[in-house]
Every structure is written in structure tokens, then in C-alpha cells.
């Protein structure tokens, strides 16, 4: 009897060790059937100065569509029930770049992002693999919500700045770069192909000050025009939450003169790498809408982009939404 009990205890301990590696959840099996109809939610943000409207830059929509997924807009200013409902039907969330304020956001981008983070975290805790990708402002939002909205960004000079990545020594041990090809790695390491357009930076000391340096694996660093070191890519240690301070979608779809956006063959290849990576993460989730009719009424196809580059926008095209009339 004692031998059987010891055998059972050994089996349980072995099982637990196989499901947790370096603090990371291993609740998704690579043998699972991938979802080949993934839908990604992209969070809108308040449109300045007219806060009666919100918007999503069309380049983020194309970024996701170009990797084989469809897009649903996620509205700001809604209650938690709305975000619970929409996240239960989609397969991942992208937080785009922009200029929304984190302070006193009054139900805007940062508030919505915090609600989404809490729900996605709970989903993953329950074994429901649900990824998030933050780009530029969305990258900053990821560290902000994990820090329970503790301000920790540093002002920096990293606008119109194409850079190569300064990989950390253990960057390949993370999920984002574990399967990177030699060619893409070489491009990112040696070519100035990442488009940086930010006035705020997240630094190692900032994460330490916020008490969340142990929550993230830093994958790459960079330096701004004043030689300030900032974090350019990271991922959450436990959850499939990823952040890029630079803009891969701009390489593909934004053409504003003066922003020094890399558009060459190498820049396109690395941009596609990040799009493919995130959509493949979303394929691990199997949420679906209750009906094909509900899905069809929710997709971004119900809206038309506006050619906003004719004005003073940094975006070639944007989806502009009336906050009063957006509903599903």
C-alpha cells in the first residue's frame, strides 16, 4: 500500500513539473487543433480633440488581416460586462499605438485596457489561452496595467527613429523569439528596421519602481537620441501578453513623409514576422460567436476607413466611430 501511495505522489509531482516551466503556464498543448478562423479585437481610443468620437488606425487592421485573421473593433467607455462578453467571443486583443492619456482617462483607452487585462488574466488562470499584443502606446499600457496603473514611464527622444534591436542574452528563451529564423534574427539585430515613434519610454528602473520587474521577461533594449536605454520588446513571464515599443504595422501600411519609417524588403519581412507570431498565438484560442449572424454584424467590415492623411493625421487611413452610435 505504501509503495502505491509513493508511486501516486511521484506521478502527481511529475505532472505538476511538466505543466509549469520557469513560472510559465503550459496550458496549451501544441498538439491541439489550431483555430484557423481567428478573430482579433482591436481596442479603439478617444479621438482628440473631439472625444465624442473614437478611432482605430487602419494599419493595425491590415496588420492583423495580412496574417490571416479578422478584426472586431472594441469600444471604449463600456462596463465590464461588455468586455467580458466580447472577449468570450474573440481569440485575442491588440492594443494599438496612439496618443491617449493614461491619467484621468474617464472611461477611455486606459480604463478599457485595464478591464480587458483583468478579464484576460482570469481567462488564462482558468486554462483558457488568450493572448494580448501591445504596440507602442499599447506596449506602455501593458506595463501600466500589470503595475496596477502605477505611473512609471520616462520622457525620452525616440520619435522618427529607426533602430536595430539590442537583444538580451536570454531572449530566445521567451516565447516571442523562440522560433525566430536565422534570417529574421539577423535583420533585427543588424539592420535599422524598427520604427520608433514615441515620446515616453519604459525602462528597467521604471519597472523596478513600479514593482513589476519580476512580471516581465525583457527581450530587447534600445537607446534613444540622448542615449537613454529603454525596453523595446518584452513578454509577461506567466501569461501570453506581449509588448513591442516599435511599430511593425507602419513598415507595411504607413507612408507619411518625415517619420523615417523603414519600407525596404528587410523591414517588411520583420513586420510580417510579428503579425504572424501574434495571429498564431490567437489560433490557440477557440472562442466563437454564438451565431454567424452575430459574428458578421460585429466585424470591422461593417465600417469604412477614412483617408485621414489628407489632414494632419500621422495615419494614412483611420476608422472613426461615433461613441453614441457604436453598439453590438
Kindly list the catalytic residues.
136, 247
CA distances from 189 to 167, 182, 194, 231, 243 (A): 7, 10, 10, 15, 18
Q: How far is CA 281 from the centre of its chain?
A: 11
Q: Which helix (H) or strand (E) holds 197?
A: strand 194-201
What CA–CA distance (Å, rounded) separates 197 from 42?
20
Cβ proximity of 109 and 76 under 8 Å: yes
Integer CA distances (angstroms), 173 to 38, 89, 266, in order: 26, 31, 24
Question: Across-strand partners of 198?
Answer: 158
Distance CA 323, CA 328 (A): 12
Q: Tell me how far apart the alpha carbons of residues 185 and 87 are, in angstroms, rounded to a whole number.
A: 33
d(C-alpha 278, C-alpha 59), whole Å = 15
Contact 143, 216 (CB under 8 A): yes
Amino acid at each position: 500500500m505504501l509503495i502505491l501511495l509513493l508511486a501516486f505522489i511521484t506521478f502527481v509531482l511529475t505532472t505538476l513539473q511538466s505543466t509549469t516551466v520557469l513560472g510559465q503556464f503550459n496550458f496549451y498543448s501544441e498538439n491541439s487543433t489550431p483555430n484557423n478562423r481567428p478573430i482579433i479585437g482591436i481596442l479603439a481610443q478617444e479621438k482628440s480633440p473631439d472625444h465624442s468620437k473614437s478611432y482605430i488606425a487602419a494599419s493595425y487592421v491590415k496588420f492583423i488581416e495580412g496574417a490571416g485573421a479578422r478584426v472586431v473593433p472594441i469600444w471604449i467607455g463600456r462596463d465590464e460586462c461588455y468586455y467580458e462578453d466580447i472577449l468570450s467571443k474573440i481569440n485575442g486583443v491588440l492594443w494599438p499605438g496612439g496618443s491617449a492619456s493614461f491619467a484621468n482617462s474617464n472611461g477611455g483607452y486606459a480604463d478599457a485596457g485595464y478591464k480587458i487585462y483583468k478579464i484576460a488574466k482570469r481567462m488564462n488562470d482558468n486554462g483558457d489561452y488568450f493572448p494580448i499584443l501591445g504596440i507602442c502606446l499599447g506596449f506602455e499600457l501593458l506595463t501600466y496595467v500589470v503595475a496596477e496603473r502605477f505611473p512609471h514611464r520616462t520622457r525620452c527622444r525616440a520619435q522618427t527613429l529607426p533602430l536595430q534591436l539590442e537583444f538580451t542574452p536570454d531572449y530566445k528563451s521567451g516565447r516571442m523569439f523562440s522560433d525566430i529564423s536565422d534570417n529574421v534574427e539577423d535583420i533585427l539585430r543588424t539592420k535599422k528596421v524598427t520604427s520608433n515613434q514615441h515620446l515616453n519610454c519604459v525602462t528597467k528602473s521604471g519597472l523596478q519602481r513600479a514593482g513589476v520587474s519580476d512580471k516581465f521577461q525583457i527581450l530587447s533594449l534600445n537607446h534613444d537620441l540622448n542615449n537613454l536605454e529603454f525596453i523595446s520588446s518584452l513578454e509577461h513571464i506567466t501569461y501570453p501578453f506581449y509588448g513591442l515599443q516599435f511599430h511593425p504595422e507602419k513598415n507595411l501600411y504607413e507612408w507619411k513623409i518625415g517619420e523615417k519609417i523603414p519600407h525596404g524588403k528587410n523591414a517588411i519581412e520583420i513586420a510580417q514576422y510579428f503579425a504572424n507570431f501574434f495571429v498564431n498565438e490567437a489560433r490557440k484560442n477557440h472562442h466563437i460567436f454564438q451565431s454567424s449572424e452575430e459574428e458578421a454584424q460585429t466585424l470591422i467590415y461593417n465600417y469604412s476607413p477614412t483617408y485621414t492623411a489628407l489632414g494632419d493625421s500621422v495615419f494614412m487611413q483611420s476608422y472613426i466611430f461615433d461613441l453614441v452610435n457604436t453598439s453590438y
